[in-house]
Amino acid sequence: MTETGFKVESIRMRDCATKKVFFQEQGWETIKPLREMHLEKALLECESVATEYTFSVDTELEDLKLVQQMLMMGNVIEEFKFEFGFAMPGSTNSFESIIYSAGKGNMYPPELLSGNLQTIVTFVDGDKVVGEKISPRRKTVPDMQEKQDELTK
């Protein structure tokens, strides 16, 4: 937890259509790197994916923003800026963003993404960083069904 009492309670990524959860983690430490993430290839086949951050604050934050950068091999390929605004002291809040697929044939293949994609999520109040997560490079793993098929061969 930071001096503002800002703490990310959880993060969750899910398919908007089926509600299937692809990633969920509770109790983020706010200023430490996130562990390596292993995401199923099926995530890349979703028409839309929702990412929800639940966070709490002890002190008032007047101008809370979230900045999320996606890096491919160290280069920023996407950047999203979200304005949350006022966060009441002693409150728990959630923030959900939805990312829509570019469609088949317009997406990076899983083989290229695996081990080369990194996310930096920064929470800022005004011009002061209150929380930041830098994920190690994400690895895409085969879908669970593919794994089961391999084991039964």
Q: Is residue 139 part of a domain?
A: yes
Q: Let me know if residue 140 belongs to a domain.
A: yes
Tally of CA atoms within 13 A in the half-sphere of 111 that contains its CB: 0
Is position 29 within any domain? Answer: yes
Q: What is the pLDDT of residue 147?
A: 43
Helix, strand, coil shares of the chain, percent, nearest 5, are 10, 55, 35
Answer for the pair 63, 125: CB distance below 8 angstroms, yes or no. yes
Q: Specify if 85 maps to a domain.
A: yes
Position 35 in a domain: yes
Q: Which of 63, 138, 50, 28 is nearest to 99 (CA)?
A: 50
Residue 49 and residue 21: Cα distance in Å, rounded? 10
Identify the pLDDT of residue 54: 93
Contact in structure between 10 and 139 (CB atoms under 8 Å): no
Q: How many residues does the chain have?
A: 153
Structure pTM? Answer: 0.76
Question: Across the strands, what pairs with 82?
Answer: 66
Query: Do residues 101 and 107 touch, judged by C-beta distance below 8 A?
Result: yes
| Within-domain flag for 1 | no
Its domain, for residue 29, covers 7-151
Q: How many domains does the chain have?
A: 1
CATH number at residue 106: 2.70.50.40
Determine if residue 115 is left, alpha or beta; phi over 0 gives left, psi from -120 to 50 gives alpha, anything else beta: left
Let me know if residue 26 belongs to a domain. yes
Asked whether residue 2 is assigned to any structural domain, the reply reads no
- Structure token pair of residue 95: 């923030």
pLDDT in tens, the chain (153 residues): 556 688 889 989 999 999 999 988 887 665 555 556 777 888 888 999 999 989 999 999 999 999 988 888 889 988 989 999 999 999 999 989 898 998 888 888 888 888 888 888 889 999 998 887 776 555 555 544 444 444 444
